[in-house]
Amino acid sequence: MKPRNILHLLSLLFFSSIILPHEGHAQKKTNILWISVEDLSPRLAAYGDSTVSTPHIDRLAKEGVVYEHVYTTAGVCSPARNAIITGRYQTSNSGHNMRTLGNTYPEKTGLPKSYNSVPPQEVKCFPEYLRAEGYYTSNNVKTDYQFEAPVTVWDEVSETADWRKRSKNQPFFTVINFTTTHESQVWKRDKNPLRVNPTTVPVPPYYPDNEIIRHDIARHYSNISELDDQVGEVLKKLEEDDLLEKTIIFFWTDHGDGLPFYKREVYKRGLHIPLIIRHPNKTMAGTRNADMISAIDFGPTVLSLAGILTPSQMHGRAFLGQHKGERRNYIFGARDRVDSEYDRVRSVMNKKYQYIRNFYPQRPLYMNVEYRKQQPIMREILRLYEAGELNQKQALWFKETKAKEELYDLELDPFQLNNIVHEKESKAVLQELRFQMDKWLIETNDLGRVPEKELIKMMWNGNDSPPVTANPTAEIMEGKLFINCKTRGASIGYREKGTDKWEVYTKPISAHKPLEIIAHRIGYEPSKTVTFR
């Protein structure tokens, strides 16, 4: 896996505790588990695709709710997860670029590994709100890229982090992230036995159909089967701990498939993801939900289930819990810089149509991303293109320029091969979606218009390196300890000196022993640890 920014990594895994309201009964605390998966479209039996057997995910669907119209805000990991973990559009956070400063790896830029794209305005990650309410939060990170998580965000971050280390009966919020279906696993798991016959896999019309193409598609489906085994292990562990019926389970992915012309795109296939939610005691088991949901709604929904109002800076809307918001009529998405390739594309869709605006129509649709060329399927597509052996549909990806606007009827043209933007019958819906796009760009302060170097200056207050979070200060008034930090957006953590457990500071506290205090704004360097006696 390539390294990703910290907002991406922070969003990899969560478990949380929630408060579920029951009519006529006192509120009852329960737990929340996120099973986060990488690079996977709804290629599951619950969504009508039974190419490969997934009995454990099928179980979640049979015992839970299947959400049919769920979309991420980007077709690639870091921007999508930036939005998920903040509950805001990445284009408002200046987290829309995948990589930054013209380099692929942070270590090649001279930046600290904690560097990430953070907004010029104040934004806090929603796990902080849960920790502040006393929930045990654990982030089970499985990645080759090591980083220092702010102490105010997670109780523990590691490959072994889970709910078992919490205090007895303490509600929890945990995220477990599986990379099994990540695009890299198409070549990294190539020696693993295939679990599906390549001759039976579906091949979309924009792919050539040959043995190499089918093999990699079959490899992706086989990886889904291996993922299902891992989901089964998680469910077994919950049952062993007598927690299955005390935990709300979210199963979701960060964006669409890691296969070519899916990942990194804002077409529906790059944004459409599965979301399955299993409630304790199989509440609403076997039902389906057709509401339009954006992945930025996940955080507000967890907070709502925990009895917490959606923070004012979040664009997301809760779709469950005490503070459930209005239903969505539109879903928005974005594509910007990806590794070495620059672009700016924005998308809005309703259930029937998708409108796409290309801000750089003079640039090709295909992004020449070197990382992707490690997939045999990508190399084979490029070989056939260069040999002139792709048909019209298969060569669509390689047009030298893009249309300024695109409009697709998702019901009649599910593969989005026919741009109907100039058809007379499309005029009314085109005007509607244009208006919604213009409104969204203004209301959310889309920062894709700002050159990258200027964004860096904004994030770092005009400096050439990340600012250092101001040291926290403390004073005693009326028998309580008041802690402050001058850095806007910083979180403050404290612990008794000599102990390991950090707490999130939210209000004045009683302090009878020496305390260690630290402040950290994500994207900045942390403050020094200050001892208060």
Strands 480-484 and 247-253 turn out to be: unpaired
d(CA 519, CA 162): 25
Look at the block and give the residue holding tokens 């860096």. Answer: 456
Residues sharing a CB contact under 8 Å with residue 358, sequence separation 6 or more, in sequence order? 344, 345, 402, 403, 404, 405, 406
Helices (H), 364-403: 376-386
Q: Is 77 tagged catalytic?
A: yes
Burial 272-282 (b: 16+ CB within 10 A, else e): bbbbbbbbbee
Contact criterion met (CB below 8 Å) for 85 and 10: yes
Which of the following is catalytic: 60, 77, 84, 151? 77
Residue 338 carries which DSSP code?
Answer: B
| Spatial separation of the C-alpha atoms in residues 390 and 382, rounded to whole Å | 9
Q: Please report, to the nearest 10 degrees, the dihedral formed by the alpha carbons of residues 217, 14, 173, 531 taken in order.
A: 170
142 — phi, psi (to 5°)? -120, 100
Element (H, E) at 455: helix 452-459
CA distance 521 to 489: 6
Cα three-residue angle 6-11-12, rounded to 5 degrees? 100
126 touches 299 (CB < 8 A): yes
Strand spans (E) along 218-343: 247-253, 272-278, 287-294, 331-335
Reading the block at residue 79, the tokens are 């921007």
361 vs 369: CA distance, rounded Å: 18
Q: Which helix (H) or strand (E) holds 37?
A: strand 28-37
DSSP state of 525: B
Cα–Cα dist 144/50, whole Å:
32
Quickly tell me which residue has 């039974």 as its tokens: 50
User: What distance in Å separates the CA atoms of residue 83 and residue 87, rounded to the nearest whole number?
Assistant: 6
Are 44 and 274 in contact by the 8 Å Cβ rule? The answer is yes
Query: Active-site residues: which are they?
Result: 77
